[in-house]
Chains A and B, each alone.
Chain A
Amino acid sequence: MGTFVIHTHQRLQEWVAQEKGYYAAEGLTDYVLKQNDLGTPDPARALTPEGKKFGAYESYETGREATVSCACHWTVNMAASADHGTLWGECYSVAPGAIVVPPESPIVTPEQLAGVEVAITRRFNRWRSFCRPIGSSCTSAACRTSGSIR
C-alpha cells in the first residue's frame, strides 16, 4: 500500500494526533496530512466538466486523492451508496453551528428570518427543516457555499 493520505477537516483532531505521536503509537507511520481543495477560489474548480457546481459529492465522484476524508454525512452516505468509497461505520462527528446575521442586521429572532434568504452550505438541508416552519426562503439559489471558507 502507498502512503496513507489524511484529508484534514478544519478541525483539531488530526493535528493533535500528529503532535502527540498517536499515529505512530498506533502503528500508522507512513501517512501525510493534506487539506482538500474544496472551496478554493479557483474558477477552474467551480464547475465540473458537466457544468455542475463542484462540491463535496463531486469531489468523491471525480476521486479525492485521500485514503480517509470527511464530509457532511448526507454526502458521504450518498457517495458511498454510489460506490465512490465506503462510509466508516464506527465513528461520526458533530460540529456546533448557528444561523447568524451581520451585527448591523435588524434581525434578532428566528421569526424575523421569515422571507429572508439564508445562505447555507451546498445541500445542507438541516437548516431547511428549521426554516420551513418560519417561512424563510431557503431555495437552492440561496445555497451559496457558506460552509466553506477557503
Chain B
Amino acid sequence: MIARKAKAANVFGMQLYILEQLGFRKIADTTFMIAGMVAKDADLGEVKKYYAALRRAQADIDVMHQKYVHYYAHELPERFKTLVDVRRFGPGERLVFEPYSKAMYEDTHRWVEERGIFDADAVGAGAFEDAVTLAR
C-alpha cells in the first residue's frame, strides 16, 4: 500500500495503525480472528501456564494499553520505525478466553473447504476431537 501497488487493502492490527498514521483512509471496519497453535510435542501443562500469563497481561492492557505500546517497536520492521510513532498505536489484538467451540471449528472448516481456499490435500480430516486441544 505504501508503494501504491494496490488501490485498496484490508489490513489488521499493527498494519492498520501504521497506515492510519500515514494518512490512509478507512472505508470499512473489519476484524481478524486468530487462533493459537500448539506443537504436537508440547507439554500441555506448560501451555496452560503460558495462557494463564497472557490472561493477566490482557487485563493490564485493558486497563491502560498506552503503558505498553512501546513493545510494538519490537515487532515493527526497521524500515517503518522512522515513519510512525508507536505511542499513538491502539491496544490491537485482544485475547478472548472463551472456547473455540466445536461449532466454531466445524462451521469454519466447512466454510473454508466449500470455497476451496486451501488445497484439497491440506484440509485434513476435519475432526474437532483430534484437531483441538482443551485444557480440561
Q: Name A residues whose Cβ lies closer than 8 Å to a Cβ of B.
A: 1, 4, 6, 8-17, 19-20, 22-23, 25-28, 31, 35, 57, 60-61, 64, 66-74, 76-103, 105, 107-110, 113, 116-121, 123-127, 130, 142, 144, 146-147, 149-150
Contact = CB atoms under 8 A, between A and B. Distances in A.
Given A73-B108, A124-B10, A125-B115, A88 B93 contact: no
A108 B25 contact: yes
A72 B19 CA distance: 21
Contacts of A9: 34, 93
Contacts of B80: 149
Contacts of B53: 17, 22-23, 25-26, 28
Nearest to A15: B71
Given A9-B93, A17-B56, A26-B53, A88 B36 contact: yes
A28 B94 contact: no
A120 B125 CA distance: 27
B27 A100 contact: yes
5 nearest interchain CB pairs?
Answer: A81-B124, A97-B12, A82-B124, A22-B53, A119-B6
Interface centre among B52, B58, B61, B117 (most CB of A within 10 A): B117
Given A77-B112, A88-B36, A149-B80, A93 B24 contact: no
Contact of A94 (B11, B25, B34, B101): B34
Contacts of A117: 6-8
Nearest to A140: B117
Given A28-B50, A80-B131, 16 more contacts: A6-B50, A14-B57, A15-B68, A20-B57, A23-B49, A25-B53, A64-B39, A68-B42, A86-B37, A87-B37, A87-B105, A88-B132, A89-B133, A94-B93, A100-B27, A105-B25
B93 A8 contact: no
Interface centre among A1, A68, A76, A77 (most CB of B within 10 A): A77
Contacts of A26: 49-50, 52-53, 56
9 contacts: A14-B54, A22-B54, A88-B35, A91-B51, A91-B96, A97-B30, A99-B26, A119-B10, A146-B10
A94 B122 contact: no
Contacts of B18: 149
Contact of A68 (B13, B39, B124): B39
Interface centre among B23, B31, B32 (most CB of A within 10 A): B32
B46 A92 contact: no
A130 B71 CA distance: 32
